[in-house]
Structure 1
């Protein structure tokens, strides 16, 4: 067919940009355009030597454009949809023309995107399987405001960025294209001609799926249409997750909780049965998952995410992650996700210099580079970045029915000088160290999530004394529901790892936490961070021989469950795994065959059961009126005792700890009331691996002051043990329950 004069199509410079992959406005030339009421079609396929538009089965040849290989142009009568039939060397292919479709994003989307207030950002950006203008396909949209050109690439176009240049949407910086015939499972990236002239291939920042690492492309996942069956849980969640309810969290790294078939990690669907059943049997109220947002490096455990909107494919596709959440809810368990808005890795397919500029991160390394982790810090002061993060938090809560987010490394976000020497950080506008922009982002995240998803919980891993972390934003707080009590964890672990002969000199480490225990809504965490990087296992931290190690740890867990604050235990520590956690292997399930390890597992199960059944142990976890010391100063004997109280009418609880390897008999201890007290827990019980020393299941407190209390009892304190007593309203001559 005779080539057509380029001037009949467009300016030669414009055509050159299209052919060379430099155009930022391909839609102005390609696709159908009407002139004098006649439809003209221009198409570009660098692999074709001939092309025709096919309407209702009839072919209308398009002429090649002279001097511009791959460009074709011609008249196509009518207004009916057409297909493009291309050929080369006797081979033909028939495709839809992506350039015949109009925009998908509406004016409201544009307005909210530009303003940085699109709370459902994932509805506008990312890849959405849909029907548009009577065609089934996928809509792609990405924010890259400084890009010279953005193209969609994949197997469908031989990863050629010249073929599907996207449509720029005005001042929003968003680019979009509807691709007919593409759907679930399509592998894609964005090719970006950056502001710096560089060419980048990027995964989708709002993609719902990704290839299995080390492959780095995004994958189209249709996340619509899941049939949830957790209505009962969702209806009562707001009551279950209050500060006056029992919350005991089982922290899990899915990749190493349990392995299958010679070493592969458990899948979401397998975890929906095995993990859920186990956590339920053990009496935990929540499962907390280390980050599952897609991440490239296994050794980061998920804490260096690239795909913030994509559940990692390591364990299955998005709907199967929903299967896990749904199963947990049907079993009465909440699901918390670790969420990482503090930094992101510098992998080239990720957010780093996304459009050839420091778009998501700060350009100045004093603000934008994490020296500890060699990662990049979000530019929280940019409204679109704040929108990206806050909407992402809401996304997990809404689309996956997640019940809470535990926000990682909050301290690193709050302070501009975090882990930085003098001169290597930029002060705030008032010359101080607080990161006002990060604080504003966290506050907005908490306002948004609590406001739009009732009953959820957010938790801060915050290791400093920053004030009012778990207080509402309108009261000047950060707005979190809970905060990890890192000070309590550090002090008590330092105490318990010491030989008992030295503990008297560190007695205050076990009591100091009560000076601030009610300043925040605290969770007491024994997390993964305590059993990695040479820190050993919890059992390995304990002093003494084998018997003493297990006894110390049992006593410590009893202390923890009796102490004010919600509970968190990392997997493997519930049965006292001997070895340090290894993310490349499953936890040491085999050790449960040892009675001492099995006894520890039974202890944690029973601690959870007693905790959940005893309002005095949880109802005022965050209220100073629920706690009173009985004995806080007996450093010489390393004995501690306290009272826990719930709401009026709830039976009181007395907790007594002996952190020496010496049995003490006839030990006079004050009690808040005379009468029968049941010994509901003794960590030295034989079933837990102890020697069975104790008080035969009950004690009778007699009138008579001791330790500032109106009653007292003579106790047997087993060595290295914690005892929990609950007031029994029956008279002392009645038998306690079996």
Structure 2
């Protein structure tokens, strides 16, 4: 009892990192003990199947606002809630914030249960992952919404068991090496995609059971596929029977109404400076990483946690103590979150979804960052998608959209996201954003994905984009797999498979991403022809590729580009080839240099460049003369 009391004090001071072992439901002797934090409640009762949901089991207030009861009545599998007499006297049925399993929707009662004690068989993956330098290896993420990737013929949802049978082999075949799920935490409505969380320790029941998620992750690891999940520590669902004003007063949310209300999402913002909230969220993050062996978390909506004026108009917010717009508590919480997780699990990836450039997000905390490993490059994504939606006739006037991100690429450690957010709410699918008729749309989608795969930064692609789904994503339906009966969609899927394979096997595309020498621009000024050329460099001098992107439908014959060494070069990848859905059926091009300067390079080659194509060239052999390095 002394140990529990001490851990409750640790919770109250913000230092408990395994809160699920203290609060919630736990077997004790022949019965169960239940604990819940409701510091300003007048009374709390345990109600459930075992007492016909009546007020017969009054809980006792112990210390630090924690109520407790031990009883032999509940049986494994029965449902329960807490009936909370709130500070104003109103009695409200509340779910257990610490529940690890909930009943199926539409209810949200917790299940009396004990977590499985799994014997894991993923040691080889964990060992390799701990020894790995994430920054110097390929990361290619397939983003998935668990209930709309596929569905059964009768429309019923795939469970994690179904996904284990079908999604894992698909991802492996397509050449992705990570799966990132939209939030797996419990949520009351599919339309929120998981971002309106009610259960920070509970797996969304429509996806399956805790054991099934453990088995899924283990099966991924056995196929050398990592598993990430989105996690939402900034705001939570406003539902009255969940976390919101749990005891009738602000518990998890800010006490100041303007800070608590999240108008844009109809949610409530966590008070990230409150010690109990810190214990709650830090424990949640570690629970998903440790209990389910997840390989990292993508923290959603970081801007909402670091700016006081986020989603606020003039007069709707107050400055911080320094007169600025920083959410100082939120920033310190994020530093603590990353410091805690990286201290215990340095191999786990911490990724931020953040759209501003005022605060450094990645990098060491000691150097002024928030401690994240990677940040989504929203600027690159917005510029690139705006460019590809444009009539090619006018692209030369906006060519800087393809090149501006080179200027700041070293400012953060980036992931290049083509995510779910870009293919909903009338934005159209990735394929249907492309300008022009259908065959040209596919050509440009191949071009876009090649740009993403060759540009410095880790990669993320939302499901369905790999085969060019025409309709935008619908959360309540499966992807339109019938489209693969169309030759262009089928060839698009094959193209994505081969492109991913090329990326995973080409060290120059990922070895030196955190260094300036990773990229050498050949020509970023060819606006009139709208052709961009650059070099990606690996650790070894002759491990490099040359990337050529033609953003117009015009074929460029005898097109000249600069190269760094004399010798022969050969086409290694060409998005316009027939096997990928294009029309190019000529022989693979081999080019010999001529000694003629091109900008700051000493040599040139000529090639034929198909319209809307992306081409990747490689030196034909490794015997390029050492004396022919470009002059600096």
Q: Shorter-chain TM-score category?
A: over 0.9
Deviation string 1:563-606 (CA, Å, 9 cap, x unpaired) is 11111000000001000100111001111111111121112111
Is structure 2 residue 280 aligned with structure 1 residue 388?
yes
Deviation string 1:131-151 (CA, Å, 9 cap, x unpaired) is 42xx2x333211111112122
Task: Give the 3-state SS of the residue equivalent to 1:264 in structure 2.
Answer: coil
Normalised by the length of structure 2, the TM-score is 0.96
Report the alpha carbon displacement of residue 184 of structure 1 after superposing the two structures with TM: 3.3
Match of 2:21 among 117, 123, 127: 123
Q: Could you tell which deviates more after superposition, 259-268 or 722-731?
A: 722-731
Aligned to 1:110: 8
Unaligned runs of 5+ in 2: 625-632
Is structure 2 residue 217 aligned with structure 1 residue 319?
no
Report the alpha carbon displacement of residue 364 of structure 1 after superposing the two structures with TM: 2.4
Aligned to 1:40: none
Is 1:693–1:718's contact at 8 Å kept on the other side of the alignment? Answer: no
Aligned partners of 1:340 and 1:389: how far apart in 2?
Answer: 9
Is structure 2 residue 536 aligned with structure 1 residue 614?
no
Is 1:620–1:645's contact at 8 Å kept on the other side of the alignment? Answer: yes
Aligned partners of 1:656 and 1:491: how far apart in 2?
Answer: 19
Aligned to 2:57: 164
The answer to which structure, 1 or 2, has the higher relative contact order (CA under 8 A, 6+ apart) is: 2
Unaligned runs of 5+ in 1: 1-102, 733-738
Aligned to 2:394: 502
Question: Aligned ranges for residues 15-54 of structure 1 at < 5 Å?
Answer: none
Is 1:615–1:650's contact at 8 Å kept on the other side of the alignment? Answer: no
Aligned to 2:76: 184
Aligned partners of 1:148 and 1:238: how far apart in 2?
Answer: 49
Aligned to 1:333: 225
Is structure 2 residue 458 aligned with structure 1 residue 560?
no
Aligned to 1:252: 144
Is 2:244–2:253's contact at 8 Å kept on the other side of the alignment? Answer: yes
Is 2:577–2:585's contact at 8 Å kept on the other side of the alignment? Answer: yes
Gap change, CA 1:191 and 1:328, over 3 Å in 2: same
Aligned partners of 1:313 and 1:431: how far apart in 2?
Answer: 45
Match of 1:379 among 242, 261, 271: 271
Is structure 2 residue 475 aligned with structure 1 residue 583?
yes
Aligned partners of 1:677 and 1:179: how far apart in 2?
Answer: 76
Task: Give the 3-state SS of the residue equivalent to 2:194 in structure 1.
Answer: coil
Aligned partners of 2:587 and 2:355: how far apart in 1?
Answer: 40
Aligned to 2:42: 148
Aligned to 1:279: 171
Report the alpha carbon displacement of residue 729 of structure 1 after superposing the two structures with TM: 2.2
Gap change, CA 1:261 and 1:151, over 3 Å in 2: farther
Question: Aligned ranges for residues 473-488 of structure 1 at < 5 Å?
Answer: 473-488=365-380
**Aligned pairs, how many?**
624
Report the alpha carbon displacement of residue 177 of structure 1 after superposing the two structures with TM: 2.2
Is 1:641–1:656's contact at 8 Å kept on the other side of the alignment? Answer: yes
Question: Aligned ranges for residues 579-728 of structure 1 at < 5 Å?
Answer: 579-649=471-541, 651-692=543-584, 696-728=588-620
Aligned to 2:312: 420
Aligned partners of 1:178 and 1:703: how far apart in 2?
Answer: 85
Task: Give the 3-state SS of the residue equivalent to 2:325 in structure 1.
Answer: coil
Aligned partners of 1:185 and 1:382: how far apart in 2?
Answer: 34
Report the alpha carbon displacement of residue 730 of structure 1 after superposing the two structures with TM: 5.1
Aligned to 1:202: 94
Q: Specify the structure having the higher radius of gyration (Cα).
A: 1
Aligned to 1:356: 248
Is 1:241–1:247's contact at 8 Å kept on the other side of the alignment? Answer: no
Gap change, CA 1:695 and 1:659, over 3 Å in 2: farther
Match of 1:266 among 158, 162, 172: 158
Aligned partners of 2:76 and 2:210: how far apart in 1?
Answer: 12
Aligned partners of 2:358 and 2:76: how far apart in 1?
Answer: 45
Report the alpha carbon displacement of residue 325 of structure 1 after superposing the two structures with TM: 0.8
Report the alpha carbon displacement of residue 104 of structure 1 after superposing the two structures with TM: 8.7
Deviation string 1:143-172 (CA, Å, 9 cap, x unpaired) is 1111121221101011112x11123222x2
Runs of 4+ in 1 over 6 A off after TM superposition: none
Aligned partners of 1:695 and 1:403: how far apart in 2?
Answer: 43
Report the alpha carbon displacement of residue 641 of structure 1 after superposing the two structures with TM: 0.3
Task: Give the 3-state SS of the residue equivalent to 2:323 in structure 1.
Answer: coil
Aligned to 1:543: 435
Gap change, CA 1:241 and 1:153, over 3 Å in 2: farther
Report the alpha carbon displacement of residue 693 of structure 1 after superposing the two structures with TM: 5.2
- The structure that is strand-richer by fraction is 1
Is 2:8–2:22's contact at 8 Å kept on the other side of the alignment? Answer: no
Is 1:538–1:553's contact at 8 Å kept on the other side of the alignment? Answer: yes
Task: Give the 3-state SS of the residue equivalent to 2:524 in structure 1.
Answer: strand
Gap change, CA 1:240 and 1:576, over 3 Å in 2: farther
Deviation string 1:543-562 (CA, Å, 9 cap, x unpaired) is 11112111111111111111
Is 1:658–1:721's contact at 8 Å kept on the other side of the alignment? Answer: yes
Aligned partners of 1:559 and 1:600: how far apart in 2?
Answer: 15
Aligned partners of 1:127 and 1:325: how far apart in 2?
Answer: 25
Match of 2:32 among 135, 138, 150: 138
Is 1:203–1:216's contact at 8 Å kept on the other side of the alignment? Answer: yes
Report the alpha carbon displacement of residue 400 of structure 1 after superposing the two structures with TM: 0.6
Report the alpha carbon displacement of residue 110 of structure 1 after superposing the two structures with TM: 2.6
Gap change, CA 1:466 and 1:394, over 3 Å in 2: farther
Aligned to 2:332: 440
